[in-house]
Chains A and B, each alone.
Chain A
Amino acid sequence: MNVIEVEHLSRRFGDFKAVDDVSFTVGAGEIFGYLGANGAGKSTTIRMLCGLLQPSGGHARVAGHDVAIAPERVKAGIGYMSQRFSLYLDLTVRANLEFFAAAYGGHGATLRAAIDAMLERMQLTSVRDAVTGALPGGVQQRVALASAVMHRPRIVFLDEPTAGVDPLQRRSFWQLIRELAAQGTTVFVTTHYMDEAENCARIGIMVDGRLVALDTPEALKREHAPGRVLDVRGPGLAQALDGLRGEPGVLDVSRFGSGATVRVDPTRVEAQAVARWLRARGVEPLEMEESAPTLDDVFLALTASAQRGED
């Protein structure tokens, strides 16, 4: 069953198309990732889906209601953690949770019990009486997530929830997101960290307001960054690389710093063949490491092709 259905959704600001003809669906209990560079239109899409921004074209149904026609019904059924930090930093952790729970209609003993349970679940019990603004960023992020799901929404929208948080905290945050999804909550999350997007069941990639790709991480890699990735390093690499570009089976060569990334089609050329080829041109000693492509490679490929398409 789909809990989010988006058809030809657009949003214009003046002449500028922030979101341009986007269509997709998200199933119940899914973790759906929305990727894109800054300004790609991720937040604008989320705001339309949360009933905060009127679409200028197309339709979107969230939790069974059209966002343009019944935004209030949509709001009651979802949780939202906005990109800009939106907790009340001068209030305690508990006061924040109490406020947001009450805003969704919670009250009395059930509310207090739910808050205690949520504090426990988000590992916030020890800081519950601390002033939120005095806590580290990672902890604040967990408080924001807790505030967004206090009322047990079926769908939760998280707009760059891990921006500016250290990698360790990000990993534990994603653990919480996976737990939410395991309990049946649909999670719609935007990010520009490609590594954490691997956690998503499906990923949509936005470039300049358009949804240029949408699939599982594996399928995206197969389609947009196929082959193997070879990270190579050695003396005289720069001159040798130019010749490598035209060789059969070599899909892509990109330099970074003193090394380079070579993407090859493993059915046509083996890693050892590339190594021999480079050594024959004087790159010795050669360091080479073979790996699978990441979403970074997918993203780079898609952004590059979108830009080529525009020129």
Chain B
Amino acid sequence: MVASTFGRSGGRILAIAGKEVLHIRRDPRTLYLALAMPVVMLVLFGFGISFDVDHLELAVVDQDGTWASRELVRQFTASKEFVVSTESPSPEQALRDARRGHVVAVLVLPKGFARAVSSGGAQVQLLVDGADGNTATQVLAKAQALIQVASPRLAGEGAPLPAPPVEVRIRTLFNPGGRSALFVVPGLAAYLLAIVAVLMTALTVAREWERGSMEQLFATPVGRMEIVVGKLLPYLCIGLAQVLLVLTAGAWVFSVPIRGSLPVLGLGALLFLIGMLGQGLLISVVTRNQVVATQVATLTSMLPSMLLSGFIFPISNLPAPLRLLSTLIPARYFVSVLRGVLLRGNGLEVLWPQLGALALFALLILAAAMARFQRRLD
């Protein structure tokens, strides 16, 4: 009896899922959106919109003109991370160049630098173009690292210059080359997965409302759980294929490693996907309209998973209210899981809180969607 009930239910779920597969095959744009777009985006982001900065143009104002000051400039250019584009007599002249966008930073070595080095407490001034925040951050980090390395050489025993902040060290530890692909791939994977999963479900369910076939479906004995599972199942498979594809592309094109536990990664992806599919479902159940659903889905998946997930801006750099808000964004936890597994070699013992948060989100959003998804028309 139980088995036959289960069998009947399974049959109905398969009927819905099978129909969905037919819809997808009839309109392969869905599949294209889901599978080709992420890879294209990944490659574009990885190569084109690289966050890596080198050959940064530097204006040098050497007012000291000693061996020590020249040695520090040489240290800057030796790594190829900086090139000296202009040497200006005064900071004012250098700043004018900076304003025209030629240089990203001005290094000022004040008169008496060499003497200060030998007595300890030497200071250099680094004026950074803050218009490009990402570049500015990296310039600061690199300059500090360079100076840290250079200062013992300049001063011998003295330890005059301030130590760089802890952040720089962490980055250097797990991403020694500072390669942005390693950093971008996990964030991008979460971002793309979020958009595609939310959008696909929001559209497919809203379409049934809009065309009136939902009413027909409600008139059959198919339960709402069966409708939901049947409709989400194909997209869950597509989503998992997408994860696989993005990670493979990441590993192949950008040599992103997989250092930690694959099952943990798989579990994280599954939970994240279910949450995103649930979000799409909730949107379509509430809007019942493809156009509105598309807009809401794009907005609620794209913005948070880009801005509040740690993909582009580190969570720790967000203002407190946004940081609080980010704790509600599943992409944040998924990005943590991805970075943890891929780069840090973490497993369940470290990532269980993130997995728990993903599971909780999936559960809550599905419950909310189901509560709104009544098989009645009123």
A residues contacting B by CB (< 8 A) are: 47, 50-54, 72, 75-76, 78, 80, 82, 84-91, 95, 98-100, 102-105, 107, 131
Contacts and interface: CB of A to CB of B under 8 A. Distances in A.
The 4 A-B pairs of least Cβ separation, nearest first, read: A84-B212, A102-B15, A86-B216, A80-B219
Given A54-B378, A91-B23, A104 B212 contact: no
A86 B207 CA distance: 11
B215 A84 contact: yes
B132 interface: no
B211 interface: yes
Nearest to A103: B220
Contact of B376 (A54, A90, A107): A54
Contacts of A85: 211-212
Contacts of B364: none
Interface in B1-30: 8, 11-12, 14-16, 18-19, 22-23, 26-27
A104 B14 contact: no
A245 B41 CA distance: 80
B19 A99 contact: yes
B85 interface: no
B27 A103 contact: no
A82 B19 contact: no
Contacts of B165: none
Contacts of A47: 377
B221 interface: yes
Contacts, number: 76
B221 A103 contact: yes
A52 B218 contact: yes
A82 B215 contact: yes
A98 B15 CA distance: 8
B126 interface: no
Given A50-B219, A52-B218, A53-B378, A103 B12 contact: yes
A107 B219 contact: no
Interface in B210-230: 211-213, 215-222
Contacts of A82: 212, 215-216, 219
Contacts of A80: 216, 219
Given A52-B377, A90-B23, A91-B19, A105 B219 contact: no
A131 B23 CA distance: 12
B377 A103 contact: no
A75 B219 contact: yes
Give the interface centre of B12, B216, B219, B375 by most chain A CB atoms within 10 Å.
B219
Contact of A90 (B14, B15, B27, B219): B27
B376 A95 contact: no
B3 to A, nearest CB: 15
A277 B27 CA distance: 70
B12 A88 contact: no
A104 B221 CA distance: 6
A167 B15 CA distance: 35
A155 B215 CA distance: 18
A81 to B, nearest CB: 8
A47 B376 CA distance: 9
Contact of B213 (A51, A75, A88): A88
Contacts of B217: 103
B212 A86 contact: yes
A82 B218 CA distance: 11
Contacts of B12: 102-103, 105
Nearest to B27: A90
Contacts of B212: 82, 84-86
A86 B378 contact: no
Contact of B23 (A76, A88, A100, A105): A88
18 contacts: A52-B215, A52-B218, A52-B375, A53-B377, A76-B221, A82-B219, A84-B215, A86-B212, A87-B213, A88-B19, A90-B23, A91-B19, A91-B22, A91-B26, A99-B19, A100-B220, A105-B12, A131-B26
A8 B6 CA distance: 38
Contacts of A72: 221
A75 B220 contact: yes
Contacts of B377: 47, 52-53
A104 B8 CA distance: 9
A176 to B, nearest CB: 19
Nearest to B227: A103
Nearest to B216: A86
